[in-house]
Amino acid sequence: MRTMAQLNPSEIKFDEKYGPFINGQLVEATNGYINSINAATGAALSKIGRGGKEDIDLAVKAARAAFQEWSNTTIEKRSALMNKIADTLEANQERLKLIECMDTGRALHEFDLDYELAIYQFRYFASAILNYYEGASRPTQNGYLMTKKEPLGVCAQIIPWNVPMIMTAAKMAPALAAGNTIVLKPAEDACLSVMEFGKLLADILPKGVVNIVPGYGNEAGQALIDHPDINKLTFTGSVGVGRLVGKTAGERILPVTLELGGKSPHIVFPDINIDRAVENATLGYTFFNGESCVLGSRLLIHDDIYDEFVEKLIERAKQVKIGPPTDRSTRLASIINEKQGKRILNYFEIAKNEGAQILYGGNRVTVPGHEHGYFIEPTIIEAENSMRIAQEEIFGPVVTVTRWKDIDAVIKMANAVDYGLAAGIMTENLEKALDTANKLEAGSVWINSYFNFQSGAPFGGYKNSGVGREHNKEALDAYSQSKTIAVAYQLPQVGQFK
């Protein structure tokens, strides 16, 4: 899905600084700037605005001013503009991929999937707005009944650092398609691609329809969710912050969409081809650099094949290439920053203290020329399901392995976490697979192919994994409200209410 030649990192040029994108242009940040560095090398990339209350207020005002015109724009024109955004994103994807690679530390090859999904979001909702964003009508005894969809207004959207463009597209596309205007707060850890995307949007959308204010969560993020002129809150991130966003939405009676992470089980039945299953399992816990809410981080392996499976899983882990993020042959690269790197390493100590056994990995490794980065080995830990290492989201290339014998017991084990975002199943018996899938408390269940994202499929979770669904037509409803108009042809007859 590439429309331009692949670039070298040396060809990427950044602006000296990226202030907030408000009303169609980058403006100066009122609170100064935050250094943006290469996650793997520590080299300075640029500076991003430290957004605060004043910047957020300006952005919300710009979004409010643009709302009337944008909401009254025909769905056909909105659809055309959404397709233009997709075309522009596709044409600029190689440059943006490299920017995200350097900004996040993730391996470059992974961004092929990121941008395929992001581009698709805009194309999907460009089509969905024409097919699903409809009301209904029917005659009544004395007139006509009509229902219609209307946008909510100004939408506040807060996204994390791990997959910037996927998150941007998943939030932005349905909101724009439904006729809303946006203030987006990207993560301060990695948002250079989002700021560059804003510059591209300036040539496509009317001023003020999309506004982007970077900054710290406790400054720009807090100011955004607290702003009195917001009509919808959307957040992806930690459960703790999600609860605060949800509380604010509840107090102000605002619609809210929350995606708050996961701790996904990956169940291995004994009838599978072990070599293929090991490959799928390795992808499931190392892709996205291990920094993903849908990571298949809990391998539940049937006792009959446990020893052989784990032995081969370890051998496969040894083959995973750890290297520079910008090398397309690299399969595991740098963690986003020192704070997250140390957090992952600390979990290995927690695992040891709990009595878990690290079967492979557990170490930070050095990549020549990239000594700044936190490169962590793919790590396999034998653990009981009740241990913290098997219950808490780590956000690193880490998987626990646990035995099971009884199908009812493994389903209970799979569901015995606070999350319910995704799950995986590997078996050649599809009847068994579907029966198991129906009993799992997870928003997405992938059978025999982990990360099997499909077009138009809803994405979201059970339990602490969040509220609402994204990536499909349900998201249009989340960014809309319904209005009923009942028409009577004539006024009531005089004396009817005697």
Looking at residue 284, what is its pLDDT? 98
Q: Give strand ranges (E) for 164-225.
A: 181-185, 210-212
**Six-digit token pair at 448?**
């025999």
Q: How many CB atoms lie within 10 A of CB 314?
A: 16
Q: For the chain, which domains are there?
A: 9-260+467-483 (3.40.605.10), 265-447 (3.40.309.10)
Strand (E) or helix (H) holding 139:
strand 136-140
Closest CA to 277 of 252, 242, 312: 312
Closest CA to 178 of 135, 223, 138, 226: 135
Looking at residue 10, what is its pLDDT? 78
**Six-digit token pair at 19?**
């202030």
The arrangement of strands across the sheet holding 480-488 comes to 136-140, 143-151, 480-488
Q: How many CB atoms lie within 10 A of CB 62?
A: 23
Q: What region does 417 belong to: left with phi over 0, alpha with psi -120 to 50, or beta?
A: beta
Angle between helix axes 93-104 and 164-177 (nearest 10 degrees) is 130
Closest CA to 268 of 201, 313, 335: 313
- Yes or no: say if 400 and 297 are a contact pair by the CB < 8 Å rule: yes
Rounded to whole angstroms, the Cα distance separating 134 from 150 reads 10
The active-site residue out of 293, 377, 441, 470 is: 293
Unique residue bearing structure tokens 């928003």 = 443
pTM of the model: 0.95
Looking at residue 381, what is its pLDDT? 98
What are the φ and ψ backbone dihedral angles of 378, each rounded to 5 degrees? -60, 130
Q: Give strand ranges (E) for 272-417.
A: 298-302, 334-335, 357-360, 364-365, 374-376, 379-382, 398-404
What are the distances in angstroms from CA 290 to CA 286, 287, 331? 5, 6, 11
SS3 of residue 255 by DSSP: coil
What are the distances in angstroms from CA 283 to CA 211, 264, 304, 400, 471? 36, 14, 23, 14, 22
- Yes or no: say if 38 and 45 are a contact pair by the CB < 8 Å rule: yes
Looking at residue 3, what is its pLDDT? 41
Rounded to whole angstroms, the Cα distance separating 280 from 257 reads 31
Rounded to whole angstroms, the Cα distance separating 277 from 426 reads 7
Concatenate the DSSP letters of all residues of 440-451 into one string: S--SEEEESSTT
- Yes or no: say if 419 and 393 are a contact pair by the CB < 8 Å rule: yes
**Six-digit token pair at 382?**
């034998």
Looking at residue 50, what is its pLDDT? 97
155 is catalytic: no
What are the distances in angstroms from CA 445 to CA 266, 291, 400, 432, 436? 9, 19, 19, 13, 10
293 is catalytic: yes
The active-site residue out of 188, 219, 259, 291 is: 259
Angle between helix axes 111-131 and 164-177 (nearest 10 degrees) is 10
Q: How many CB atoms lie within 10 A of CB 476?
A: 19
Using a 10 angstrom Cβ sphere, with 0-12 exposed, 13-18 middle and 19 or more buried, the burial of residue 378 is: buried
What are the distances in angstroms from CA 225 to CA 221, 229, 369? 6, 10, 41
What are the φ and ψ backbone dihedral angles of 382, each rounded to 5 degrees? -80, 120
| Residue 428 identity | E
Rounded to whole angstroms, the Cα distance separating 399 from 312 reads 14
CA angle 72, 78, 82 (to 5 degrees): 150
Mean pLDDT per 10-residue run, the chain (498 residues)?
A: 62 94 97 97 97 98 98 96 98 97 97 97 96 83 92 98 97 98 97 98 98 97 97 96 96 96 97 98 97 97 98 98 97 98 98 98 97 98 98 97 97 98 98 98 98 93 96 94 94 84
- Yes or no: say if 220 and 157 are a contact pair by the CB < 8 Å rule: no
**Six-digit token pair at 212?**
């982007």
